[in-house]
Amino acid sequence: MVWAAIYFISNIGKGDSYDEKLARELVSIASISYCEQDEQITLSCGIHCDRLKEAGYTLLKSNTIQSTPFGGESYVIFYSKSKNRLVAAFRGTQNVLELLGEIFNSYSLEYELQPDVDDARVQGYFYTQYSVFMRTPFLEDMKAMKAKYSSADFFITGHSQGGAKATLAALDLVGSNVFKKDEFIVYTFGSPRVGNYEFAKLYRKQGPKTYRVVNNNDMVPHFPPCYLDKGQCVQEPDFDESMLFWCPYHVDEEVFYTNSNMSNQAYEFCSNEDMRCSNKYSIFNGSILSHLQYFAEPVTCSKTPMRI
């Protein structure tokens, strides 16, 4: 599954509320993260690249790290001089084997990127891929970018699995003292659940302002499934969470689009796994098409086959 989005902003007053125009720009950069490097450099990938050309973006960094025999991790960093805006995007899933790896490794692990964190657990695949393969180069790149483009608005964006890793990276950037929490904002698109309620609570306390955008009945935000009690996702279970049996829980704030075309600013804000928003659906009656298209455009590099 092509997974999800973050965006960082150094002048927090400029972007302190959800901005749909900005969201459309960020999802284009998320889409370009799936392209080959030459397409990213030349911005020759169709509608998403054309949009970035118009906004004056150029590629600063494209980093791919081989992490498994069937795939790897990747992120890109773009900069627009005219907007003085820097955007980093995490790439989502590349192929079916990688997707199977995410599904069969959806057990939980203790969150240990910062000290003295009690009871926070995270999805094993996302956490391992980020912490083992991506963390060091990404933090180093963001330190360098912040030093060089100190006056810029900083963003990270991605879709699907990319959103999960963006969420992990956002909390890590604050915990590692690369950014302060009020120096950037997060946008994710179609992100799965990243951790349990204790992780979501930690993120709410220490993490940046976040907009978790969901396209109507997108099925991926329901993965891994939460533990339901009386129709509500459980926050604090009456059992000891273990590696195999745990209670996934979304970070806030959800921006839920009420129609699959995501048109006419038809969205609502929800928090704490509110059943009025995307939780009115489930992973069983969700749509993969709604996951693969955001703002009525495919979230993929248009010169390559659509990923899942």
**Residue 283 in domain:** yes
CATH of the domain at 83: 3.40.50.1820
Report the share of the chain in percent with pLDDT over 90: 77
Token look-up 């839920």 returns: 256
> 122: Cβ–Cβ under 8 A, 6 or more apart, which residues?
108, 109, 110, 111, 168, 194, 195, 196, 199
306 found inside a domain: no
| 5 in any annotated domain | no
Cα 213 to Cα 258: distance, rounded to the nearest angstrom: 11
In angstroms, the Cα distances linking 115 to 118, 180, 248 are 9, 17, 21
Task: Tell whether 52 is covered by a domain.
Answer: yes
Segment 90-96 shows an average pLDDT of 83
In a domain, 223, yes or no: yes
- How many folded domains does the chain comprise? 1
Note the pLDDT tens digit of each residue in 247-305: 999 999 999 999 999 987 899 999 999 999 999 999 899 999 999 999 999 998 876 54
Kindly state whether residue 67 falls inside one of the protein's structural domains.
Answer: yes
Extended beta strands in the chain, E state: 57-68, 71-80, 85-90, 108-110, 121-123, 153-158, 185-189, 195-196, 209-215, 228-229, 232-233, 248-249, 254-257, 267-270, 293-294, 297-298
Residue 114: predicted pLDDT: 87
308 part of a folded domain: no
Domain that holds residue 179: 12-298
Instruction: State residue 107's pLDDT score.
Output: 92
Q: Decide if 2 is inside a domain.
A: no
Q: What share of the chain is helix, strand, coil (3-state, %, to 5)?
A: 35, 25, 40
**In terms of DSSP bridges, do strands 195-196 and 228-229 run parallel, antiparallel, or are they unpaired?**
unpaired
Is residue 193 within 8 Å of 233, Cβ to Cβ?
no
Rounded CA-CA distance 83/89 in Å is 17
pLDDT at 12 > cutoff 50: no
pLDDT at 13: 38
Place of tokens 């979230």: 299
Query: Could you give the angle at the alpha carbon of 57 between the alpha carbons of 54 and 59, nearest 5°?
Result: 145
| pLDDT reading at 168 higher than 90 | yes
